[in-house]
């Protein structure tokens, strides 16, 4: 048994999949997209027109040098037309 067995270490891949959102707030039709922020890197889904229930099923890979033990992924859903946003930390 090596000394590294059973411990976290080394490089790897973190894959975040944004499936969609439900009941995106706004007065009328929305044009939502999602913004993902992790370790200072920002990624976005494409904008979907006139929907409150967008479905993206978009995968975002992050190459890691070390495990993200206490870091957070921030995801924000924004409506292009209204500028209203819903923020949720996961």
* Residues 29-62: tens digit of each pLDDT: 789 999 999 999 999 999 999 999 999 999 999 9
pLDDT-based confidence at residue 7 (cuts at 50, 70, 90):
low
In the predicted model, is pLDDT for residue 2 greater than 70?
no
Share of the chain above pLDDT 90, in %: 60
> How far is residue 60's CA from residue 74's CA, in Å, rounded to a whole number?
13
pLDDT-based confidence at residue 14 (cuts at 50, 70, 90):
very high
Burial class (CB in 10 A: 0-12, 13-18, 19+), 22: exposed
Per-domain residue ranges of the chain: 22-82
């Amino acid at each position: 048994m090596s000394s590294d067995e059973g411990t976290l270490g080394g490089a790897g891949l973190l894959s975040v999949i944004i499936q969609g959102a439900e009941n995106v707030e706004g007065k009328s039709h929305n044009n939502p997209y999602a913004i993902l922020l992790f370790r200072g890197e920002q990624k976005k889904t494409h904008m979907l027109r006139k929907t409150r229930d967008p479905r993206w099923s978009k995968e975002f890979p992050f190459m890691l040098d070390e495990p993200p033990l206490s870091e957070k992924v921030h995801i924000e859903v924004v409506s292009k037309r209204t500028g209203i946003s819903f923020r949720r930390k996961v």
